[in-house]
Amino acid sequence: MIAMLAFQPGMPSAFEPFLMAISLIAVIMGITLGMLKAIRQRGRAARFQAGLIIGTGVVILHYMGQASYLVRGHVTFDPVFVVTSTLISLGLYGTAIVAAAERNRRLRRWGGPLLLLAIVVLHVGGMASLELEFDPRVELPSHSLPPESVAPIVGAVSFSLVVLALLGLRFSVAAAVRLRRDRQRLSELANIALEGLAICDDGVIVSANESLAKLSGFDRAELVGRSISALLPTFNGDDLAGLEEADATLVGANDIALPVRVLRNEVMLGRKRQIVFAFRDQRERLRTEARIRDLAFFDPLSGLPNRAHFSDMLARRAGSFRSEGRAFVLLLVNLDRFKGVNETLGHGVGDEVLRRAGSRLRACIREGGIAGRLGGDEFALLLTCDAAGAETAAADVVELLARPFLIDGCAIQVTASVGVALAPDDGVEPEELTRAAELARSRSKEEGGNTFRFFEPEMDEHARQRQLLEAELRHALGREQFEVHYQPQVDPRTGDFQGAEALVRWNHPDRGMVGPDRFIPLAEEIGLIGAIGEWVLQTACTEAASWPNGLSVAVNLSPRQLRDRNLVATVLAILEVTGLDAHRLELEITESAIIQDDEVTYGNMRELQAAGIRVSMDDFGTGYSSLSYLRRFPFDKLKIDRSFVQSIPEDPDSVAIVQAVATLGRKLGMTVRIEGVETGAQRFFAASECCDQIQGYLISRPVPADAIRTMFAGATATRLTA
């Protein structure tokens, strides 16, 4: 049109304003629609179509513009030129738009010139097709516009449109390039992220990183196009607002399910709002958590609940009893002789025994029962059952733990002591029940183990008494409540005094005189025996030092005293202080004291003997009476227990035993003493069997110190006067 405006036809001319306005509207629409299409749609075909739309707008502008051209004459067109130039220019428009949006910069540069060429081709073709013929009869209509006023408007509008179109396209292309670059950077960043990332458009993955590929087992390419709900079937993204996280299960390749933590976030990518899913692998964390939980609640050796966890469950059961009223049972289990396993076979074997004991206990629990390891060789069972069920379970525990453990080719025999407490009969509170079960278990232990006992109120009383006795015993020494009594020993043939055995008594302010059998085991257990034993030794030696020369004193040593490394020093110091000659002291040792083949014990015995003190074996015949002890240590004296003497001389078996032991002692060069002699016949028997000493009620019961002193003084006086 610009060319047409400049066209000087050599005759008066003008423009029809209506058609011209339409042609301008057409070109504006054509360019607008074409550019919108070029910007919105991708792909060369779409851009080519956009170019065609723009071209069509321009073609309409052109030919309608020409149609609005009025001259005083006739205007005709050559159709060949019109069609040819229109087709060529449309092709050029399309190519120009395609070129302008090309990624390659060199191609992109061709956009402008091609567009210009399209315009030129259209115009040259259009002008060339125009034929004018002057006819003065034709008048220009009155409303027509002169070319001078149309020219600048049309020129400016057309030029601006073309420029704007090109600029718009360039901006759009630049935005697309920036978007692409952003995506590229994001994807590079995403690939170095540890978390799996997926960018989704409408619930479909459009991009995923390497970590997600690794996590899911799918390739990145396989992930693209997959719907997010296929990866996270249990996950409802709508539940997640903003930056919140949620746990979900990721279903990866081969339907492998993984625990993940999902973070969902909306981001702007270019100008597009897209949803990014981040996946954090939870396997390691869950494993660590499970391990921490295990360590906190379970015993690593047996895999059973530990003390804390078991106590919690016991408390919970007590709580549910208060609401539901269902009876339950607590069993406390302790392995007998387990310490020996650890000591002789090592802790490795000991641990294996504990581990297997734990799994055997598991075999003893019925539905709803719980086994726990409270520590060391202490186990517990919590069962929901009645007394009959508890009895079955306790019997099962005793049975299974009594079976041997075969470890490294070695059959290890351990047994169990079980205490049973029933809720609510024996209490409901955990402390109450535990105490009851402990008391019952102690009773099982006292009865030799490998058995079970139910709690009985009497046990409570017994324990209370024992506790009281223990408290009083701890103070007895300080309050000087102990006394030493003496039972004389004589030669059965002559009746001469040879000495006396020192026997400790507890002169209790309320209970009266308490015998050693009632408090010595307790003193042993609570560690008081050393102090009491030392006091007895001191007292007896002091006393014996005042007796006529030649009379000796016999003092009992407890197993614990014998294992004391300071025993010899203590004894020698006492002899020194009291001035008693070592030959006048005799120390009596029970078989149970030397049954543990202990080096310290034998060392003490040898040193005492070397110092001139006599060492005798007490109560021979009542324990294991292993003759190997007699070979291992040269005792000075053998004491035959009173239980054999009682039925002498009527019972031929007892007679035979005493005769044999007496002979044995003599042959081994030991002095033989018979205890518990109560009749003349027994004394006669002792004399005839060449026993060296007798002791018993026939001579005298144990008497206080002043009484024995009087007894000895009288005998010496009699002998002196005789």
Q: By the criterion CB under 8 A, which residues form the site for other proteins?
A: 356, 359-360, 363-364, 396, 399-400, 402-409, 411
Pairing of β 272-281 and β 257-269: antiparallel
Q: Please name the residue ranges forming H helices in 385-528.
A: 387-402, 430-446, 457-476, 516-525
Tokens 């309050």 locate to 479
Which residue in 506, 614, 483 sits closest to 553, CA to CA? 614
Give the residue with the Cβ less far from other proteins, 359 or 596.
359
Give the residue with the Cβ less far from other proteins, 62 or 356.
356
Catalytic site residue from 534, 591, 675, 689: 675
Give the residue with the Cβ less far from other proteins, 94 or 358.
358
Task: Give the amino acid at 36.
Answer: L
Can you tell me whether residue 456 is helix, strand or coil? coil
Give the residue with the Cβ less far from other proteins, 71 or 397.
397
**Shortest spacing between CB 389 and other proteins, in angstroms:** 14
**Shortest spacing between CB 699 and other proteins, in angstroms:** 44
In 171-293, at which residue ranges do the beta strands (DSSP E only) sit? 196-201, 204-208, 245-251, 257-269, 272-281
Phi, psi of 423 (to 5 degrees): -105, 135
Task: Give the amino acid at 35.
Answer: M
**Shortest spacing between CB 410 and other proteins, in angstroms:** 8
Which structure tokens are listed for 681? 């016949």
**Shortest spacing between CB 366 and other proteins, in angstroms:** 11
**Shortest spacing between CB 266 and other proteins, in angstroms:** 57
**Shortest spacing between CB 591 and other proteins, in angstroms:** 24
Which residue in 47, 58, 121 sits closest to 84, CA to CA? 121
**Shortest spacing between CB 375 and other proteins, in angstroms:** 23
Please state, as a whole number, how many other Cβ atoms lie within 10 Å of the Cβ of residue 190.
22
Give the residue with the Cβ less far from other proteins, 358 or 696.
358
Please state, as a whole number, how many other Cβ atoms lie within 10 Å of the Cβ of residue 635.
25
Which structure tokens are listed for 102? 């090309």
Please state, as a whole number, how many other Cβ atoms lie within 10 Å of the Cβ of residue 107.
13
DSSP bridge pairs for 372: 380
Which structure tokens are listed for 418? 């079980």
**Shortest spacing between CB 411 and other proteins, in angstroms:** 5
**Shortest spacing between CB 386 and other proteins, in angstroms:** 19
Give the residue with the Cβ less far from other proteins, 360 or 373.
360
Can you tell me whether residue 648 is helix, strand or coil? coil
Distances (CA, A) of 301 to 297, 298, 380, 416: 12, 9, 15, 19
**Shortest spacing between CB 680 and other proteins, in angstroms:** 44
CB 436 within 8 A of CB 418: no
Please state, as a whole number, how many other Cβ atoms lie within 10 Å of the Cβ of residue 45.
11
DSSP 8-state symbol, 703? B
Which structure tokens are listed for 38? 């070029």
Please state, as a whole number, how many other Cβ atoms lie within 10 Å of the Cβ of residue 325.
8
Which residue in 712, 676, 705 sits closest to 551, CA to CA? 712
Give the residue with the Cβ less far from other proteins, 408 or 706.
408
Give the residue with the Cβ less far from other proteins, 360 or 584.
360
Decide if 599 is catalytic. no
Q: What CA–CA distance (Å, rounded) separates 82 from 101?
A: 29
Tokens 């581990």 locate to 355
CA R_g for the chain: 58
Q: What CA–CA distance (Å, rounded) separates 71 from 619?
A: 156
Which structure tokens are listed for 233? 């079937």
CB 234 within 8 A of CB 249: yes
Give the residue with the Cβ less far from other proteins, 138 or 395.
395
**Shortest spacing between CB 392 and other proteins, in angstroms:** 9
Q: What is the sign, positive or negative, of the torsion defined by CA atoms of 358, 362, 363, 365?
A: positive
Distances (CA, A) of 704 to 432, 482, 498, 514, 701: 46, 12, 17, 14, 10
Give the residue with the Cβ less far from other proteins, 408 or 510.
408
CA trace torsion 14, 18, 21, 27 (10° rounding) = -100
Please state, as a whole number, how many other Cβ atoms lie within 10 Å of the Cβ of residue 271.
7
Tokens 């600029």 locate to 167
Active site members: 675
